A = this chain, B = another copy of it.
Amino acid sequence: MAQKLEKITSRDTDFAKWYTDVVKNAKLMEYGQVKGTMILKPNGYAIWEMMQSILDKNFKDKGVKNVYFPLLIPESLFMKEKKHIEGFAPELATITMVGNKELSEKLFIRPTSEVLIADFLSNEIKSYRDLPIKYNQWVNVLRWEKTTRPFLRSSEFLWQEGHTFHSSSEEARNMTLDILEVYKSFVEDILLVPVLSGLKTDHEKFAGAKETYTIESIMYDGQALQSGTSHFFDNEFAKAFNIKFQNKEQKEEYAYSSSWGVSTRLIGALIMTHGDDNGMILPSKIAPIQISIIPVNNSESIIQQSESIFNELNDKYRIEIDFSDKTFGYKMSESEIQGIPLRIEVGPRDIADGNVVLSDRISNNKIKIKLTDLVNEVDKFFKDYDIQLKNRAIKNLETKLFSATTLEEYDSIIKNTPGFVLVPFCGEVSCEDEVKLKTSTVSRCIKDFNVQTNTKCFNCNSNAKMNTYFARSY
């Protein structure tokens, strides 16, 4: 049969085109009928399932419990927290009718669920004994976006949103930071995507939050990707929704809260950090399939040998055999594009000699091994594989760290050698608005507040208060 995989544009020729080529050829998603919506195909959804299973366990280890809150938010409820509604109003999908009947009140599809959860908890929380409350939900949310891009920005997306309430401000902030740490180690140690982490500036913090913490990764093309955020509300949401509890001293107090989320956008981070001109490259801990056994033909002895290899490795690894009637070359390319870490080629001559060939997705090197050493060799392969991938990603980050002291310098860097650019910054919302207007970029996160008193803001020249990373971003 004449099956062909489409050619993938080279990463260095046109990164944006390369990205969509990979997404399409790896069969991760297609666009939905409604503009900006996504269909997650089996290969894409399987990666999300892997992420869910690992993160979910991490959350539960922190005492978080899963819940489900409704999709629809009445307009009146959304109006209770002003900064929050201002942040989301233009993006809200609005239900006005059911069947042929007009509704008496507009309903919004959740863009996030802070207001629903706060409203519910205003009845549930009575005493310090009811706290902390730590909820999480794995759900779809909707924020109407003008420009969309697979995984990175879509109107509807899948995410998890955690919402916690505490009896002290300190405990709520600690929860915010604990989760930031969960995100950081998940993204760095499982996805093998190095990040910078820290506080967002006032300009970039979440609508209604007192502090937003973020992890920011850098893609192969030098653009930053916000990969997870954790928000500390202090008692702002509790005030808006009248969530009070009786403390140990029997006094009424407003509760303190956090919220935090990561989304299917992390699939985009994986692709743009590790992928190459042959497609995706998946870290072993997140790969839905870690090993693909590819028989050179479907003769009886090859099938038998492939199955015996499968059985030998199946307890330890996520593994598949491709017995379809596609050609050997097609199967190899397909597995490569999908980023499966290891291919085991089973051919008649090698088998006769008691060998198989291991093919490495990172280097494309092939090594012939003795079948009797199979498990050892595969173990050895996987010991090394993630280290290679991580080191390569760290190296990419290191070559993309810059600094600047003036806007001209900054602008020249992000135009010529994009990356994270550390600048002295005043921290003012109006100043960051100006930077955005002039460069179409904003800050990613604050590095530190220890700036010398005579240092000037890279844009407005007033006294700098912090060193901050700015970057072009997705």
Contacts and interface: CB of A to CB of B under 8 A. Distances in A.
Interface of A: 1, 30, 32-34, 37-42, 45-46, 48-49, 65-74, 77, 89-100, 107, 109, 116, 119-120, 129, 135, 139-140, 142, 144, 156, 158, 324-325
B77 A33 contact: yes
A109 B95 CA distance: 9
Given A42-B135, A98-B91, A140-B71, A66 B37 contact: no
A390 B263 CA distance: 41
Nearest to A88: B99
Instruction: Report the copy number of this chain in the oligomer.
Output: 2
Contacts of A140: 68, 71, 139-140
A40 B65 contact: no
Contact of A156 (B1, B42, B70, B94): B70
A45 B67 contact: yes
Contacts of A90: 99-100
A74 B34 contact: yes
Given A39-B67, A120-B39, A99 B95 contact: no
Contacts of A32: 69-70, 72, 116, 120
Nearest to A43: B65
A397 to B, nearest CB: 31
A65 B94 contact: no
Given A97-B96, A140-B139, A67 B91 contact: no
B70 A41 contact: no
A144 B94 CA distance: 16
A119 to B, nearest CB: 6
Contacts of A33: 70, 73-74, 77, 116, 119
